[in-house]
Structure 1
Amino acid sequence: MGFWSGRSAWIPWALIALLVVCVVAQLLVQYRLNIWNRDFFNALELREGREILQQTYLLPALAAGSIGLAVLAVWGRMSFQRSWRKWLTTKLLALWLSNENYRRLDDGPGEPQLAEYRIAEDARIATDAPIDLLVGLLSSLLTAATFVVVLWTVGGSLKIDGFGTSLELPGYLVFASIAYAALTTGAVVLVGSRMAHVIERKNQAESELKFAVTHLRSLPRAAPPVEDGQDASVNLALAEVIRQWRHLCGQHVRTTLVSHGNTLLAPLVGLILCVPQYINGTMSLGEVTQAAAAFAAVQGAFNWLVDNYPRLAEWASSASRVGVLLFGLDMLRSPEVGTEAS
């Protein structure tokens, strides 16, 4: 709340407004490219040279607009992330350094906080990921709403004849895309259900390894020199890091099976679903490619969770670790802790 209010709060709000404008404008360009896809392939099917030439001239302008908006969005997003990280890290450092909290924080029971890693790394992820995820979610929602209309309009109804009856399915491409997205999203949630916990344990192991390595520099000069690979604490910390990375690798392998398979299959599924309409003559070649592109866009929007599940899990882990650090610092300021310490 402190970042979103105060004298400098207009900066994040202005950057958020800029990102929303970029998302909406980018969606308009993508919609126009979808129409370009239809017009170009229709002209190609009819061998209309003049129309093909006009569409060819139009493509660079649309591409330039999309690229420019993407560049502006990257600048706005990273400027926002930089401001938020600076604000959060400054606050965490102030709390950690006040009243010698940096000396007292790890004296209590439980696993060590190792605040240095949480302030440097977890605070970065906790402020980097949210804006990426929210902008992506907004783009996905608007894309789904726009291209679902395209699918419904272009796809039309599918007639199925059999057993002496005729069945008509209106907007069949829309329902097919929803069913396909539900299948892939459910699969990635199922196979990656433990990812947030695994990432949190990996981050804790990484911080303990850094602490163990840094601790070697604080040894007194009179202590015997530590030979390569002979420090037990470093070896144990490294072994735990490797063990947690092995668990994380398994989580990524399982989620990649779903996400990469979806990336390969979604455009092809859209094309295959349009084949009956094309054979029946109710769809032109341009409309087939338009519908297939719209199907892929809807799948990309519906599968936001599939594509961002690892990043979402990493953010949840880092935000939790920053929250634990803040809780530990708050406990140091409580009267009970002060009484026990004295």
Structure 2
Amino acid sequence: MTDHVERAPTVRHLFRNFWRIAKPYWVSEDKYYAWGLLLVIICLSLGVVFMNVQFNKWNNEFYNSLQDYNLPAFKAALWKFGYLAAAYIVIAVHAIWFQQMLEIRWRKWATAYFTQRWLRDNTFYRMQLTDKNTDNPDQRIAEDVDQFISYSLSLSLGLLRAVVTLVSFVGILWTLSGPLSFMLGNTQLTIPGYMVWVALVYAAVGTGITLWLGYPLVGLNFMQQRYEADFRFGLIRVRENAESVALYRGAQDEELRLRQRFVQVVSNYWSLMRMNKRLTWFTSFWGQLAIIFPLIVAAPRFFAKEIPLGGLMQINSAFGKVYDSLEFIISSFSTLAKWKAVIDRLTTFEYSMAAADQLPRLQPSAQAAGLSLEQLRVSKPDGEVLLDDLALTMQPGDSLLIRGKSGAGKSTLLRAIAGIWPYAQGSIGLASNTRALFLSQKPYMPLGTLRAALFYPQDVGHDEEQIRQLLALAGLTHLLPRLDETDAWSHVLSLGEQQRIALLRAILLKPDYLFLDESTSALDADGEARLYQAVREAMRAGVMISVGHRTGLVEYHQQALDCLGQGCWSLQPL
């Protein structure tokens, strides 16, 4: 989390950013299915417009039959309405069905795409080092992707229907409304198809006022997404660190922090409410006026008996359709504001991942066996040098203990060897096609069964006797009955138990390279000795590097690297 303010991208780049996010799916391996579905949806949308044209014609027949007291024509109009309505329902239902089908396929692909990009090459880790503005990647993948797809399809298809409806009904309205003649001074003026011009002016005025009133909604929706995600992140942090918060008796402090974050949610939401209220006042008034407005404008020709009742109602219907298509922006403005906010959040997420990809990567070079470091410089993000010109060579079976004061660069050196620390220069040589395992002070316990946690990240093994012996060695026999239970093990097990599970993981997997970053800090001396001895036996054919302060670790390592600070170091045999 950060106190920096994330800036929304400008409206000028909205469609470029939209295509940047949407394009990968439409050129992906699923493109033929996607374009096929989109074609079906477009055809069904055009079918809806065609049915609306038929209903407009039906208005003329139905209301003329009423005006003429023509019972047979009235009954025929009712039958016609029946089969028109049935056809409309079938088309409308399937239009929604196929649109939802496209939405879920697109979301499935896009979620996998963003998740892979976020996880690929440890981008999720590097973003934390370089980008202090892109908050809550989890929300951007889980929620923003879904909303982006839903809003994009609904708005684009809505715009398509609006354009086709406008083209279809402008001709009808032009023909039905006829010319309007009036005197201006001594000159008689005639406006052909005057209802079309009335609809254009009416919609243009409404759209302009709506844009003016509703523009602040764009920024407010962007910030609402951010504040909601920040608040949820705070709740998750309390849940994940429940024991620490309880032991520190920090519930009151956490409540204050959560309240402060929720105040931002509420304050911004009040601003949204005020803007929406102001916008709704106008759009409701303008929409209600649009119901009666065409009747008022066309009434003079009706009372002059130039058009029948059916013609008046057909004009009213056609005007409504033309106006609806022209006022698309008015009716969709809130959705447009949310759509832009979602695009902005996904765009900044994309830029952040791209920036993380551009950071330098210290790629290990292949060598026959063992590990070698040459002219390695490890720095902090601010440029402060932790280790300079480090040279080290280790062969299979060798072991190294890294010591030093806190902040001297011990853990950072392991990150550099792992290839996830971008602020490192030099040469690292590793044997190719080998496996490395890094165990941190706070072990990672994946979601799933305890058996899966023992073998993470490799496939689960089923040597029950070996597992039973190792659990006994670690003093964890009480967990035997729960091996295949799924639980939140990072909360169920103590830190010491989690560290013992992680050490057993190293014994079971026997990696070629094992890196332990104070991985026994929560163990007693006897437990540490038993497990380190077992780990050392398992690593006789591999390279083992440990970070630690305890003197008891010396006997399990052959060399010691002392980090002295300010780039200095010393290497000595043990």
Q: Tell me which structure has the larger Cα radius of gyration.
A: 2
Counterpart of 1:168 in structure 2 is: 190
Distance 2:287 2:333 in 1: 15
Which of residues 198, 214, 234 in structure 1 aligns to 2:258? Answer: 234
Gaps of 5+ in 1: none
Which of residues 3, 12, 16 in structure 1 aligns to 2:34? Answer: 12
Distance 2:87 2:143 in 1: 35
Counterpart of 2:77 in structure 1 is: 55
User: 1:234–1:104: structure 2 CA closer, same or farther, 3 Å change rule?
Assistant: farther
Counterpart of 1:184 in structure 2 is: 206
Which of residues 217, 221, 241 in structure 2 aligns to 1:199? Answer: 221
The within-5 A match list for 1:295-314 is: 295-314=319-338
Classify the secondary structure of the residue corresponding to 2:25: coil
Q: TM-score, normalised by structure 2?
A: 0.57
- The alignment status of 1:77 with 2:99, answered yes or no, reads yes
The within-5 A match list for 1:59-138 is: 59-108=81-130, 110-138=132-160
Superposed CA RMSD: 1.9
How far residue 303 of structure 1 moved from its aligned partner, in angstroms, is 0.4
Distance 1:106 1:181 in 2: 48
Which of residues 151, 161, 173 in structure 2 aligns to 1:151? Answer: 173
Classify the secondary structure of the residue corresponding to 1:282: coil
How far residue 208 of structure 1 moved from its aligned partner, in angstroms, is 0.4
How far residue 166 of structure 1 moved from its aligned partner, in angstroms, is 3.4
CA contact (8 A) 2:162 2:324 kept: yes
Amino acid at match of 1:308: S
Amino acid at match of 1:341: Y
By percentage of residues, which structure has more strand? 2
Counterpart of 1:329 in structure 2 is: 353
Q: Greater relative contact order (Cα 8 A, min sep 6): structure 1 or 2?
A: 1
Classify the secondary structure of the residue corresponding to 1:288: helix
Counterpart of 1:270 in structure 2 is: 294
Counterpart of 2:423 in structure 1 is: 341
CA contact (8 A) 2:140 2:349 kept: yes
By percentage of residues, which structure has more helix? 1
Distance 2:134 2:181 in 1: 65
Classify the secondary structure of the residue corresponding to 1:110: coil
How far residue 228 of structure 1 moved from its aligned partner, in angstroms, is 6.8
Distance 1:341 1:216 in 2: 31
Amino acid at match of 1:21: C
Q: Is 329-338 or 276-285 further displaced after alignment?
A: 329-338
How far residue 182 of structure 1 moved from its aligned partner, in angstroms, is 0.3
Q: TM-score, normalised by structure 1?
A: 0.95
Which of residues 284, 288, 297 in structure 1 aligns to 2:312? Answer: 288
Distance 1:147 1:155 in 2: 12
How far residue 101 of structure 1 moved from its aligned partner, in angstroms, is 2.9
Amino acid at match of 1:34: N
Distance 1:270 1:224 in 2: 70
Give the number of equivalent residue pairs: 342
User: 1:99–1:162: structure 2 CA closer, same or farther, 3 Å change rule?
Assistant: closer
